[in-house]
Amino acid sequence: MTEIPAENYLIDCQQPHAEVLEVTTRTVWQSVEPISHEAFAQLALPEGIVPVGTGSGVMDAHYFRQSPGTAAPGPVQDRFIDGRRFIHCANPPAGGPEMPIPDGPVRLMVDKHHTIIFEAGSVLTIIRTETGAELIQVISASPGGGLLQETATQAADFALPPGWQLRLEPVTTRTVIDLPNPTEAWFFANGSSFQGPVTLFS
């Protein structure tokens, strides 16, 4: 396995991190270090770059194996915005978010090469859809306003579509999960996101 450069890891991933979109290239850039909602709101963004939102991970660590569009795993592309380092982590779908389930979560098919890590003793939250596909929680609920949230909601504002089931899976060893490319990412009203599909427990 190719050794992942240290600069591909994000720091303190369970704290809020920001994402911004470069409009002309349709590329998403994520802050490497945590940033508060207040600091993100005051960030001086260059012309052509717009805010996406903030989100906090549920994993113990994560990294991006490569930036989208690169030929092989290696150092991610980065840039500095208002003194903060951002990495090119993802490309959104050309058609934007989808809502295939009325009043349900929003779906994005994301071009990214994302690996998430859970240490021994962690409890993973898994959703099984009506088709049998399994998704793992990647982003925690964001009652203060998070990614793809039009308004701030309560953390408890979470309803599964018909036929979907949620369960908890404890792990007794360090668990490393390579999300597929593209990643099917579902965003709920409370800001939480479940992504995959994963086959860890199948």
142 pLDDT more than 70:
yes
Predicted confidence (pLDDT) at residue 155 exceeds the cutoff of 60: no
Of residues 191 and 168, more confidence is placed in 168
CA distance 52 to 30: 10
Percent of the chain with pLDDT over 90: 80
| pLDDT confidence of residue 144 | 54
- The pLDDT-based confidence of 143 (bands split at 50, 70, 90) is low
pLDDT band at residue 152 using 50, 70 and 90 as cut-offs: very low
Q: Give per-residue pLDDT as tens, 42-70.
A: 999 999 999 998 999 999 999 999 999 99
Q: First CA to last CA across the chain, in angstroms?
A: 24
Q: So what's the pLDDT on residue 3?
A: 87
DSSP string for 34-89: ---HHHHHT--PPTTEEEEEEE-BSSSEEEEEE-TT-SSS-PPPEEEETTEEEEEE
DSSP 8-state code for residue 8 = G
The secondary structure element, H or E, covering residue 132 is none
Compute the average pLDDT of residues 89-101.
Answer: 92
> For position 150, what pLDDT does the model report?
53
State the pLDDT confidence band at 147, using cuts at 50, 70 and 90: low
For the chain, helix (H) and strand (E) counts, in that order, are: 1, 14
Confidence label for 190 from pLDDT (cuts 50, 70 and 90): confident
Phi-psi region of 176 (alpha: psi -120 to 50; beta: other; left: phi over 0): beta
114, β-bridge pairs: 64
Would you state the pLDDT for residue 141?
84
pLDDT of residue 183: 98
Q: Is the pLDDT of residue 2 over 80?
A: no
Residue 200's pLDDT is 84
Name the average pLDDT for the chain. Answer: 91
Boundaries of every domain in the chain? 6-90, 106-196
